[in-house]
């Protein structure tokens, strides 16, 4: 899966908890930092302002899964022609508003984008090619539900330009699939994976969820063993997040269902990492495993804080606009509700609902939070692209808290950069608040030093 329609709300283990803290910290720090740090926030261009990836959100589903709180709608009827026109229009507008001349990858996510017509996918890709450079071998991923109903043949999506599939199989256990409210069984999932592998060998990913009601470490391990012989070169594992307002949340709250406790969940994650590694699927990010280097280029772009443009209802983007000084990155959110979004695109060419300028501190927070999700972490060179004025050692090296994390074997800070250890990656949600606070402290000390210098001069 892509995790954007919003890096902060699209579920990836264990993001929710840590980002709630992250946001709290942001709110605490921002009021003070954003205004006074102007001199530190050099108005230079973040790296590669001319390049971005593109996320396209298809907001419709056939049925509501019991655990899902993504931006999705079950439509009574659908006008594919209008949706296609609006997705094309918004793609064109946002590309023109940005400084982007090159799209490195495209991800069609949802919702259920495999319910879109292949001609819609082809039309959006054509619009991209008309307005920017999209190389023939750029990664183009489509999220697929293995639901037999309503879906066009995967072959037609390949003919439309898709060259990678991300299939939401979630589980191979029929009871779990029923509890999750999925509208497919494990047989459908296996058939879809097999069809996708024939069409795009080595470029098929599967999404699997764990910590499900009634699941034990043993049953989870045997599910993984069943999955290994059929999966391709990429697996994404997601710990179930109980989302307020969902049916599953209520079922757990009322005691109708229960989910595994924290210790069991931690054991499930640990055992999955071991089982997948033994099968040659190397972990390269908290939730992502690949063999033959079949990593998701698109998601790596998010984790490296590259620019991205988000198109479609509720999509999020981060890019430097062409106007307004032309140097600072903006966080953009498109209107959530599809009918309203359609009207806005028809009227204004885009459905951007919110634009926030990311200050230097905000950008570095994202680089930190996203970068530490990867095994490789944040290299010194990468950090320097965003923070030429202070390297990782200067910001984190003197901190007692960071030294404690290092001594505990959770974090590694050396000449190469900053990254989590194997154990640390499993505890990222408890490591990040410390790191964000250190970054905050650094910025505060720079402000104090600047204020002091200003007074003296
Ligand atoms: C929003 S879904 C879209 C893909 C597609 N509609 C599907 O359901 O297969 C993307 C992925 O997010 C994950 N996901 C959705 N809700 C989740 C939750 N509450 N907790 C953990 N993972 C979740 C699932 O693994 C799913 O494949
Ligand atoms: S199909 Fe996917 S996006 Fe739609 S409700 Fe289910 S989990 Fe959510």
What was the pLDDT predicted at 158?
98
First-to-final CA distance of the chain: 54
In a domain, 341, yes or no: no
Contact (Cβ atoms closer than 8 angstroms) between residue 230 and residue 199: no
The mean pLDDT of the chain is 89
In a domain, 217, yes or no: yes
The answer to whether the CB of 66 is under 6 A from ligand 2 is no
Average pLDDT rounded to a whole number, residues 204-212: 98
Distance CA 205, CA 139 (A): 13
In a domain, 30, yes or no: no
How many CA atoms lie less than 13 Å away from 451 in the CB half-sphere? 11
Question: Any alpha helices (H) in 100-238, and if so which ranges?
Answer: 118-131, 154-160, 174-179, 186-199, 217-227
Distance CA 224, CA 3 (A): 22
Question: Any alpha helices (H) in 257-319, and if so which ranges?
Answer: 262-278, 297-303
For residue 447, the domain's CATH number is 1.10.10
If we measure between CA atoms, which residue out of 78, 68, 66, 133 comes closest to residue 106? Answer: 133
What was the pLDDT predicted at 77?
86
Domain membership of residue 151 as a residue range: 15-22+48-302
Distance CA 446, CA 448 (A): 5
In a domain, 340, yes or no: no
Q: Of 279, 302, 325, which one is at a domain's C-terminal end?
A: 302
What was the pLDDT predicted at 46?
60
Instruction: Say whether both 263 and 371 belong to one domain.
Output: no
Instruction: Say whether both 256 and 377 belong to one domain.
Output: no
Centre of ligand 2 to C-alpha 377, Å, is: 30
Distance CA 52, CA 205 (A): 22
Instruction: Say whether both 274 and 378 belong to one domain.
Output: no
Instruction: Say whether both 273 and 375 belong to one domain.
Output: no
Instruction: Say whether both 281 and 413 belong to one domain.
Output: no
- Specify the number of domains making up the chain: 2
Helix (H, G, I), strand (E, B) or coil at 142: strand
Give Cα 251 to chain centroid, integer Å: 27
Instruction: Say whether both 245 and 379 belong to one domain.
Output: no
In a domain, 343, yes or no: no
Centre of ligand 2 to C-alpha 223, Å, is: 21
Tell me which DSSP letter residue 98 carries: B
Instruction: Say whether both 157 and 274 belong to one domain.
Output: yes
Token digits for 235? Answer: 């697996």
- Say whether pLDDT at 100 is over 70: yes
pLDDT band per the 50, 70, 90 thresholds, residue 438: very high
Q: Residues 6 or more apart from 305 whose CB is under 8 A from it? A: 318, 363, 366, 367, 370, 371, 386
Instruction: Say whether both 156 and 229 belong to one domain.
Output: yes
What was the pLDDT predicted at 194?
96
Average pLDDT rounded to a whole number, residues 206-217: 98
Strands (DSSP E) along 69-181, which ranges? 102-110, 133-144, 164-170
What was the pLDDT predicted at 446?
79
Instruction: Say whether both 285 and 387 belong to one domain.
Output: no
Contact (Cβ atoms closer than 8 angstroms) between residue 229 and residue 266: no
Helix (H, G, I), strand (E, B) or coil at 135: strand
Q: Of 251, 278, 302, which one is at a domain's C-terminal end?
A: 302
- Say whether pLDDT at 8 is over 90: no
- Say whether pLDDT at 20 is over 60: no
- Say whether pLDDT at 218 is over 60: yes
Distance CA 348, CA 131 (A): 18
H or E, element range at 211: none
pLDDT band per the 50, 70, 90 thresholds, residue 56: very high
Centre of ligand 2 to C-alpha 200, Å, is: 23
225-234 pLDDT, tens digit per residue, is 999 999 999 9
374-403 pLDDT, tens digit per residue, is 999 999 999 999 999 999 999 999 999 999
Average pLDDT rounded to a whole number, residues 65-85: 95
Distance CA 113, CA 145 (A): 8
Instruction: Say whether both 369 and 243 belong to one domain.
Output: no
Which ligand 2 atom is nearest residue 68's CA? 8
Contact (Cβ atoms closer than 8 angstroms) between residue 196 and residue 144: yes
327-351 pLDDT, tens digit per residue, is 789 999 999 999 999 999 999 999 9
How many beta carbons lie within 10 A of that of residue 63, not counting itself?
15
Instruction: Say whether both 79 and 162 belong to one domain.
Output: yes
* Nearest CA residue ID for atom 16, ligand 1: 68
Ligand with minimal distance to 64 CA: 2
Q: Residues 6 or more apart from 390 whose CB is under 8 A from it? A: 442, 446
What was the pLDDT predicted at 324?
61
148-199 pLDDT, tens digit per residue, is 777 779 999 999 999 999 999 999 999 999 999 999 999 999 999 999 999 9
Tell me which DSSP letter residue 324 carries: G
288-332 pLDDT, tens digit per residue, is 999 999 999 999 999 999 999 999 999 999 999 997 667 789 999
pLDDT band per the 50, 70, 90 thresholds, residue 24: very low
For residue 155, the domain's CATH number is 3.20.20.70
The answer to whether the CB of 113 is under 6 A from ligand 2 is no
Distance CA 451, CA 39 (A): 11
In a domain, 107, yes or no: yes
The residue that leads in pLDDT, 11 or 397, is 397
Tell me which DSSP letter residue 151 carries: P
The answer to whether the CB of 241 is under 6 A from ligand 2 is no
Which string of DSSP letters, residue by residue, matches 371-423? HTTBTT-EEHHHHHHH-TTS-HIIIIIT-HHHHHHHHTTSEEESSSEEEE-HH
* Nearest CA residue ID for atom 7, ligand 1: 168
In a domain, 179, yes or no: yes
Centre of ligand 1 to C-alpha 244, Å, is: 15
Distance CA 209, CA 242 (A): 12
Strand pairing category for 164-170 and 133-144: parallel
Question: Any alpha helices (H) in 238-349, and if so which ranges?
Answer: 247-253, 262-278, 297-303, 338-348
Instruction: Say whether both 132 and 260 belong to one domain.
Output: yes
- Say whether pLDDT at 219 is over 60: yes
Q: Of 302, 317, 338, which one is at a domain's C-terminal end?
A: 302
């Amino acid at each position: 899966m892509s995790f954007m329609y919003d890096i902060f709300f699209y579920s990836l283990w264990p993001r929710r908890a840590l980002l709630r803290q992250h946001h709290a910290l942001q709110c605490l720090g921002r009021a003070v930092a954003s205004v006074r740090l102007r001199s530190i926030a050099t108005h230079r261009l973040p790296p590669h302002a001319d390049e971005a990836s593109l996320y396209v959100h298809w907001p419709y589903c056939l049925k509501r899964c019991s655990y899902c709180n993504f931006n999705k709608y079950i439509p009574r009827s659908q006008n594919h022609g209008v949706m296609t026109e609006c997705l094309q229009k918004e793609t064109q507008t946002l590309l023109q508003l940005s400084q982007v001349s090159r799209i490195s990858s495209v991800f069609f996510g949802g919702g259920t984008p495999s319910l879109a017509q292949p001609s819609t996918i082809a039309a959006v890709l054509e619009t991209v090619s008309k307005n920017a450079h999209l190389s023939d071998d750029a990664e183009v991923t489509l999220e697929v539900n293995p639901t037999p109903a309503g879906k066009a043949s995967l072959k037609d999506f390949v003919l439309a330009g898709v060259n990678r599939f991300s299939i939401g199989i979630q589980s191979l256990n029929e009871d779990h699939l029923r509890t999750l409210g999925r509208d497919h069984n494990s047989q459908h999932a296996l058939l879809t994976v097999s069809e996708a592998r024939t069409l795009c060998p080595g470029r098929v990913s599967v999404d699997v969820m764990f910590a499900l009601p009634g699941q034990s470490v043993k049953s989870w391990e045997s599910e993984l063993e069943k999955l290994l012989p059929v999966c391709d070169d990429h697996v994404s594992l997601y710990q179930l997040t109980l989302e307020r307002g969902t049916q599953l949340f209520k079922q757990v709250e009322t005691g109708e269902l229960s989910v595994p406790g924290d210790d069991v969940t931690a054991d499930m994650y640990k055992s999955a990492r071991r089982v997948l590694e033994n099968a040659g699927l190397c972990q390269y990010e908290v939730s992502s495993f690949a063999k033959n280097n079949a990593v998701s280029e698109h998601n790596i772009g998010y984790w490296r804080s590259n620019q991205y443009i988000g198109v479609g209802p509720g999509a999020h983007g981060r890019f430097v606009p062409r106007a307004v000084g032309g140097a600072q990155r903006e966080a953009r959110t498109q209107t959530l509700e599809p009918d309203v979004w359609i009207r806005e695109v028809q009227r204004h060419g885009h459905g951007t609902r919110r634009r926030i300028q990311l200050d230097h501190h905000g950008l570095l927070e994202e680089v930190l939070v996203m970068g530490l999700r990867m095994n490789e972490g944040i290299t010194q060179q990468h950090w320097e692209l965003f923070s030429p004025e202070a390297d990782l050692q200067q910001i984190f090296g003197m901190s007692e808290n960071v030294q404690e994390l290092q001594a505990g074997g959770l974090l590694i800070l050396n000449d190469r950069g900053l990254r989590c250890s194997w154990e640390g990656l499993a505890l990222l949600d408890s490591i990040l608040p410390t790191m964000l606070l250190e970054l905050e402290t650094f910025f505060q000390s720079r402000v104090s030093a600047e204020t002091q210098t200003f007074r003296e001069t």
